[in-house]
Structure 1
Amino acid sequence: MKNYIYMDNSATTPVKKEVLDEMIPYFIENYGNPSSIYSLGSKSKNAVESARDKVAKVLGAKSSEIFFTGGGSESDNWAIKGIAFANKNKGNHIITTKIEHHGVLHTCEYLERKGFKVTYLDVDEYGMIDINDLKNSITDETILITIMFANNEIGTIQPIKEIGEIAKEKGIYFHTDAVQAVGHVKIDVNELNIDLLSLSAHKFYGPKGIGALYIRRGVKLDSLIEGGAQERSRRAGTENVPGIVGLGKAIELAYENIDENNEKLITLRERLIKKVFDSIDYVRLNGHPTKRLPGNVSFCFKFIEGESLLLSLDMEGIAGSSGSACTSGSLDPSHVLLAIGLPHEIAHGSLRLSLGDFNTKEEIDYVVEKLTEIVQRLRDMSPLYEKAKEEK
């Protein structure tokens, strides 16, 4: 068994060697500014456009509809604020869910302070919205529906096609935070009636600090960053050429063998789930049992704290998460787990293990072995667990 087992691929992924190899020349040799008219700049410009074509191909979009950003959070901010401010003459109502990434939730909260109204849809025990709740929430003032494609903590995939159809029928813009989905799920923005889509390279073996926003042609939205004329005058700032090249290569690799990769991940995921339930009692699987990301597994273990579990796993050379990467340093329970109806004491015992291309069944077996030992050791110190055993 190798020294360190990484099972936090929903937080970030390593950059694949093929991706890095393609990026390196744009740090050292082809370092020209894409806005320059001389040949060195033209090489960078061509590389950017090539990457744009690759992203567009994967999403079923036009290249002119892809805009590069600094990552998923910027893409979310741009989509939501851009639509809100550009369309405030039509209405001031936005619909989202209670389990969105904070890049969406905090943006919506910001807009509420600016006078916009936001409806936060409830979800069921699996983290799934009710389509009828969505329909009933729409008013004459609704200008945007922003609902994530797949949840970063519990892996649940929303009924995106139905949401898109409703939005299109009502003439409402539909944005989806697809940061967790792109690279792992096949997406056609036209088939799904998506108007805006956020993605981030570091979730599918590309570099950090680079993302993209798909904006359907004809969508009216304000710019988020003012300045130069980059990205067709819609997103100012000198392009991160190596990052963009890396994003393009990473997304190309992700979709070359996506069916085969997902089959492998689902096999590993189901092995992990079964072995945990066979080895440990008082455990709950979070998220939808089948409509979930291929590599996502989220558990709650009763009678223990997730932070203690994570630290113990790390001492065994295993990396996991107790929630989303952006809040893993917080002592508050996950807003997602609370939204699906879990009480605080159970939500505190959460563990997310997100699998990736480099994980193996041997690692799964080793992790379950160590996890079983750690959970038992932590529970042995819990009077609540002793009481539960006596009452069982």
Structure 2
Amino acid sequence: MIYLDHCATTPMSAKALDTYTKTAQSFYGNEQSLHDDGEAASQLLQHCRAKLTTIIHGKSEGIYFTSGGSDSNITALLSLAYGNEDYGKHIITSPLEHPSVYQALNRLNQEGFSVSEVKVKSNGEVCLDSLQQLLRDDTILVTITHASSETGVIQPLKDIGRILEGKNVVFHSDTVQTFAKVPIDITSYQLDAISISAHKLNGPKNCGACYIAPGTNWKGLYSGVTHQQGWKPGTIDIPGVTAFTEAALAFHEHHAETTAYWKRMQQWMLTNLSDDVFSLFGDIDNRLPHHLALRAKGKEGQWIMLECNRNGIAISSGSACKSSDSSPPKSLIAMGHTAEAAHGLFRISFGKDTTYRELEKTVEVLHRITA
């Protein structure tokens, strides 16, 4: 099988798997226990926190571990909203977000918070003028993804940070698709919180984290919890965290050459796919280097995905976490595409080990099934 669905999930790297196994064998103590085995696990956990925050130029005490990206988004948004509701109940987001963001915001909306969505330009970037116009005196939280899993377009977080500078507004971003792959500087972007996940970068599934800048108000969702300063109950998966850290550092340390490799692949694919049949959704330059959001004229994206699967190629027809309803991708409708065009979305996403031979086979199959 040719696997080209790395934005959905990735295989664990050999180093991450080895790290997981060795840690599970040697650091099995509960990091909250007071004996030596517990202390050893606690020290390893603090080491991982420090290493992960070097990637985003943050502070180690700002890392809180979760069960993955969706958990990070939901827990962060609820905690940040509850922790700041004394200042207002207005939240701003975009129509480009992961389903987990909407799950959290829908709950908040039912609880008396109000949610506004910024407009989106035709190239897939949020409209900064729209954001500026939506800000109110009671706005407490802005959450804008760093890059949509559907469109792949990278959002202008630094510009958003400038707009929010000096305002009493918490700035959160879902960086699950970009963490360790696209440079993120918490300070220069003026971000207060981000969500990250391990399995998007060759780490283990069911492991993720939130970063919340020290000093940012948040309120835990569970009463009486002592783990992670009251963030979440449950013993932290130390082997999972260490494998996550190993995988993230490997991506971060080699991101320049990996990005260049992926960009060449991206351009090769676009050059070799017929313009008469295939078209790209979103900005051609300002996008994830390993991501292509495509449409084949007159074909449903899900049909393309199933035909590719029948030919031994794994791609996606959108977010792996999207509900099973038949509505077109919200992000593409916001960009001005018709429902028919939006239903044509299929996504190809590369990994570290993707080869040109695999891409050649994929192009051949795509041309054959759409002929």
| Contact 1:95/1:121, CA 8 A, preserved across alignment | yes
- Residue 55 in 1 paired to residue 43 in 2? no
User: Aligned equivalents of 1:47 and 1:226: distance in 2?
Assistant: 27
Q: Report the counterpart of residue 224 of structure 1 in structure 2.
A: 221
Q: Between Structure 1 and Structure 2, whose CA radius of gyration is higher?
A: 1
**DSSP-derived class of the 1:176 partner:** strand
Q: Report the counterpart of residue 286 of structure 1 in structure 2.
A: 281
Query: For 1:160-309, what aligned pairs fall within 5 Å after superposition?
Result: 160-276=157-273, 279=274, 281-309=276-304
Q: Report the counterpart of residue 319 of structure 1 in structure 2.
A: 314
Per-residue CA deviations over 1:251-307 (Å, capped at 9, x if unaligned) read: 11111111011000111011111111xx35232201111110110101111211222
Residue segments in structure 2 that go unaligned for 5+ positions in a row: none
Residue segments in structure 1 that go unaligned for 5+ positions in a row: 377-392
Per-residue CA deviations over 1:144-185 (Å, capped at 9, x if unaligned) read: 110001111111011100101111232211000101110210
Q: Given residue 308 of structure 1, which amino acid in structure 2 is its aligned partner?
A: W
User: Aligned equivalents of 1:247 and 1:184: distance in 2?
Assistant: 14
| Contact 1:280/1:372, CA 8 A, preserved across alignment | no
In percent, how many aligned pairs have the same letter? Answer: 35
Q: Report the counterpart of residue 386 of structure 1 in structure 2.
A: none
Deviation at residue 75 of structure 1 after TM alignment? 1.4
Per-residue CA deviations over 1:300-353 (Å, capped at 9, x if unaligned) read: 112112222111101111000000111274433212222212212222221100
Q: Given residue 305 of structure 1, which amino acid in structure 2 is its aligned partner?
A: E
| Contact 2:27/2:238, CA 8 A, preserved across alignment | no
Q: Given residue 285 of structure 2, which amino acid in structure 1 is its aligned partner?
A: T
**DSSP-derived class of the 2:85 partner:** coil
Q: Report the counterpart of residue 385 of structure 1 in structure 2.
A: none
Query: For 1:1-40, what aligned pairs fall within 5 Å after superposition?
Result: 4-40=1-37
Deviation at residue 236 of structure 1 after TM alignment? 2.4
**DSSP-derived class of the 1:197 partner:** strand
Q: Given residue 47 of structure 1, which amino acid in structure 2 is its aligned partner?
A: L
User: Aligned equivalents of 1:30 and 1:215: distance in 2?
Assistant: 26
**DSSP-derived class of the 1:170 partner:** coil
User: Aligned equivalents of 1:24 and 1:195: distance in 2?
Assistant: 34
Normalised by the length of structure 2, the TM-score is: 0.97
| Contact 2:282/2:293, CA 8 A, preserved across alignment | yes
**DSSP-derived class of the 1:191 partner:** helix
Query: For 1:54-203, what aligned pairs fall within 5 Å after superposition?
Result: 54-203=51-200
User: Aligned equivalents of 1:225 and 1:308: distance in 2?
Assistant: 43
Find the partner of 1:45 among 31, 42, 45: 42
**DSSP-derived class of the 2:186 partner:** coil
Deviation at residue 234 of structure 1 after TM alignment? 2.7
Normalised by the length of structure 1, the TM-score is: 0.92
Paired residues, number: 371
| Contact 1:151/1:157, CA 8 A, preserved across alignment | yes
- Residue 310 in 1 paired to residue 305 in 2? yes
User: Aligned equivalents of 1:55 and 1:268: distance in 2?
Assistant: 28
**DSSP-derived class of the 1:94 partner:** strand
| Contact 2:74/2:103, CA 8 A, preserved across alignment | no
Q: Given residue 18 of structure 1, which amino acid in structure 2 is its aligned partner?
A: K
Q: Report the counterpart of residue 365 of structure 1 in structure 2.
A: 360
Superposition RMSD in Å = 1.4
